[in-house]
Amino acid sequence: MSSELFESCASFAPSPGQEAEGDPWELPRKNPLVFLAEDQDEMRSLIADALQDEGYDVVPIADGQRLRAMLRAADLAVREPPDLLITGVCLPGGNGLDALAELRTRDPFVPAIVITAFGDPASHARARRLGAATVLDKPFPPEELVARVQRLLPPPSEDVAAPL
Amino acid sequence: MSSPGASLRILLAEHELDLRALLAEGLEEAGYGVTAVRDGVALLRSIDGCAGLLEALPDLVVTDVNMPGLSGLDAVALARETIPDVPVLVITASGDEALREQAARVGACAVLAKPFPLESLLALVGRIVAGVARDPSLASPPDSALFVPGGAR
């Protein structure tokens, strides 16, 4: 059995793309890093594409539990911390504002943008209390979000594909 | 076969199906109780499902690193809320120094680089659980002596 295991493991190096969707953690990087937590696949892809087109590195995150795990890992220096957090409020597996609140106990300064689905005043108020720089109500055009991000982050390198 | 860990529960997170099955089978044959999951999210869900039922929490977590959606280290970073003292063994195809440092930061007590023979995993698991049995404090912070790049020593 051990020899079979050894042989099966021999080709087990992660294949390209096996890492988390769009996760640039393993790549040489010099552009601002955005954690994007949004549960709607189409919306997440639209926003991620728009930000990546502008040269930002984006980690797409589909649920609140993953968001909390990645933020905790960043706090432990297991992964690079985000320069900006963009999060929805009602995420499967955990509330985005709860994740932001937890983040604030460790990092009071990282900028955050909160996306709300219903324009709920309570969510707006809590997001502001948690230091969100912007609260956006859906629907909004991706370019509006990109404009907000550009106000919060330094511009990405012009040569976004260049290695370090 | 003897059962060195007859009452010990291992939570195994490995993305690759065949390898997961092989490792689970080998650990079960060695006498451990094994819960095998496919990725970091499932690892967290398994631990969350055990929360409040302390007798069902794993005695050891064995996890891959690169898994879709949520890496093993990300998952362990969050799982530490629930299992602060449970030892973690990281199995990885990229066991370089940076990875070992990252594993240490989430409290992993050992790193085993793929590929490895099953015997190496069993030997390392045996050392970890024996150490925990002797001294429970071993499980909390990472023990550099147990970091084993490239296989059990």
Average pLDDT value over all residues in chain B = 83
Whether B115 and A14 lie within 8 Å, measured CB to CB: no
In the prediction, which pLDDT does A164 show?
42
Closest in A4, A18, A78 to B77, CB measured: A78
pLDDT 10s digits, A14-30? 333 334 444 555 555 57
Chain B residues lying within 8 Å of A12, measured CB to CB: 16, 19, 93, 114-115
Whether A6 and B93 lie within 8 Å, measured CB to CB: no
Place of tokens 């109500």: A137
Burial class of residue B63 in the structure, from the number of CB atoms within 10 Å of its CB (0-12 exposed, 13-18 middle, 19+ buried): buried
In the prediction, which pLDDT does B6 show?
54
Whether A72 and B77 lie within 8 Å, measured CB to CB: yes
Chain A residues lying within 8 Å of B93, measured CB to CB: 12-14
pTM of the model: 0.76
Place of tokens 């690169």: B66
Distance CA B2, CA B25 (A): 15
In the prediction, which pLDDT does A39 show?
95
CA distances from residue A13 to B65, B94, B95 in whole angstroms, order as listed: 11, 7, 11
In the prediction, which pLDDT does A3 show?
33
A33, pLDDT greater than 80: yes
In the prediction, which pLDDT does A25 show?
52
Burial class of residue B48 in the structure, from the number of CB atoms within 10 Å of its CB (0-12 exposed, 13-18 middle, 19+ buried): middle
pLDDT (tens, 9 = 90+) of chain B, 153 residues, equals 445 545 799 999 999 999 999 999 999 999 999 999 999 999 998 988 776 665 578 999 999 999 988 999 999 999 998 999 999 999 999 878 889 999 999 999 999 999 999 999 999 999 998 876 554 444 433 443 345 443 333
Q: Beta-strand (E) ranges in chain B?
A: 9-13, 33-37, 60-64, 88-92, 110-113
| Neighbouring C-beta atoms of residue A11, cutoff 10 Å | 11
- Alpha-carbon torsion A8, A13, A19, A25, what sign? positive
In the prediction, which pLDDT does A10 show?
28
Whether A14 and B40 lie within 8 Å, measured CB to CB: no
Whether B41 and A65 lie within 8 Å, measured CB to CB: yes
CA distances from residue B109 to A24, A90, B62, B89, B101 in whole angstroms, order as listed: 27, 36, 10, 6, 11
Chain A residues lying within 8 Å of B19, measured CB to CB: 5, 8-9, 12
Provide ipTM, 2 decimals: 0.72
Find residue A94's DSSP bridge partners. Answer: A91
Residue type, B48: D
A4, pLDDT greater than 50: no
pLDDT 10s digits, B28-71? 999 999 999 999 999 998 988 776 665 578 999 999 999 988 99
Instruction: Please tell me the distance in Å from B144's CA to the nearest CA on chain A.
Output: 17
pLDDT 10s digits, A47-106? 999 999 999 999 999 999 999 999 999 999 999 999 999 999 999 999 999 999 999 999
Closest in A3, A14, A68 to B93, CB measured: A14
In the prediction, which pLDDT does A120 show?
84
Size of the A and B interface in Cβ pairs below 8 Å? 99
Tell me if chain B has a CB within 8 Å of the CB of A16.
no
Band of the pLDDT at A41, cuts 50, 70, 90? very high
Whether A65 and B118 lie within 8 Å, measured CB to CB: no
